[in-house]
Chains A and B, each alone.
Chain A
């Protein structure tokens, strides 16, 4: 059969991920008056000076760029919360819960709303550190799937950006293992001795690797 080269590498571009993240809601404080907006993606407003309201990030950024509001950074983007997360991330093997789009949202806010983020340098460096620790964990986690045959992987608390970056490797690796351990392959090689670990390791192999 003519096999098709798998063109599914990084399925979503970084820009597309940002696009998805931009629909998340965030709080703004307008400095002007505007009637409610009845958009396709939802209804927002009315906008009154000094009265906080929730809008999607893309709308917040658009208003901010025209000087029509200030953006209130989300709760998780404070120095305290991030320090807690960083420490927990360093101590535990598992991934700490973080907003799914934390990478994209923090990047958007850094780019467009620096003056609205208190201690921005601290916040930025904390997020960088958190990202690094998590990527390192992903690396060590990936070694596990190469040591034991893995059928499925649980990626608990992984964020959108991280999942997207890891996707090409993880999917190819798991697919290859799947192919190599399929029963047809093993039956074909009759001459190969029957000490396939398959029957012995029934138990542990079924576990979804929790990372």
Chain B
């Protein structure tokens, strides 16, 4: 039975954590992954195992629905199974599409940042490489080849730039709305010597993404 309810009023012993972990269905996990990916400014780790399982479940369900139709199971049942299937497929597709959008947007930055490059799936890496090839060729043909030689790079504004300042980067200081699963006492918001704050479980907060980045990556905080 799926754990759909959003109100978490239970206490937070480790036993509860364990129980909620084993009772979270793949459908729930996929939904979470989708929400987090949509709201995060940076690309997150690819949930390879979850996506693989979801793909398999979808395939299985498609075969089941095919069988149902062939065996003349009543159309109501078939249409309900189909609806559930459509919903799952939507989540999967939207998850992948959101990631592709981020890759397209920040492809040069991702390529040169090992941590981010490793978050891509194999197919996404291939996509990124083709994207880079196309972009470089396009920029070169339409603009860069016509500029004086010290301005020909697609990464730097000019050869005197110290950094790759033509590469767009996601802004990690973007604020996001998030919710923590557990109470986080004395949470340090940023590196300046400011006082830490308390974060209550299950309440919504608007925080800078970079303050909670590690917690999102370990699944302790969800983006909404």
Contact = CB atoms under 8 A, between A and B. Distances in A.
A56 B27 CA distance: 13
A97 to B, nearest CB: 8
Interface string A159-201: 0100100010011101100110001000000000000000000
B44 to A, nearest CB: 14
Contacts of B204: 154-156, 158, 163
B67 interface: no
Contacts of B224: 160, 163
24 contacts: A1-B165, A3-B171, A7-B105, A8-B41, A23-B31, A25-B5, A39-B80, A40-B26, A40-B27, A40-B61, A41-B25, A42-B1, A42-B4, A43-B1, A56-B2, A59-B84, A163-B204, A171-B174, A171-B175, A172-B175, A179-B173, A202-B194, A208-B197, A208-B205
Most buried by B among A37, A66, A151: A151
Most buried by B among A11, A152, A179: A152
A99 interface: yes
A19 interface: yes
B10 to A, nearest CB: 16
Contacts of A135: none
B173 A175 contact: yes
Contact of B80 (A2, A11, A37, A156): A37
Interface string A35-75: 10101111100000000000010110011001010000000
A206 interface: yes
B14 interface: no
Given A12-B38, A35-B77, A160-B224, A56 B4 contact: yes
B6 A151 contact: no
Contact of B195 (A24, A40, A202): A202
Contacts, number: 149
A34 interface: yes
Interface stretch (B85-93, B110-118, B122-130, B136-144): B85-93
Contacts of A42: 1-2, 4, 25, 27
Interface residues of B, number: 58
Given A11-B38, A153-B205, A163-B224, A206 B197 contact: yes
Contact of A170 (B165, B192, B206): B206
Contacts of B189: 151-152
Nearest to B76: A66
Interface in B1-53: 1-2, 4-7, 25-27, 31, 35, 38-39, 41
B165 A4 contact: no
Interface of A: 1-4, 6-8, 11-12, 19-20, 23-25, 34-35, 37, 39-43, 56, 58-59, 62-63, 66, 68, 99-101, 151-158, 160, 163, 167, 170-172, 174-175, 178-179, 183, 202, 205-208
B168 A170 contact: no
Contact of A24 (B4, B38, B88, B197): B4
A100 B84 CA distance: 22
B131 interface: no
Most buried by A among B35, B166, B190, B224: B224
B37 to A, nearest CB: 10
B203 interface: yes
A42 B194 CA distance: 46
Contact of B205 (A34, A62, A99, A152): A152
A-B complex: 9 closest residue pairs judged by Cβ atoms? A42-B2, A171-B175, A155-B204, A39-B84, A153-B206, A41-B27, A4-B168, A206-B195, A100-B6
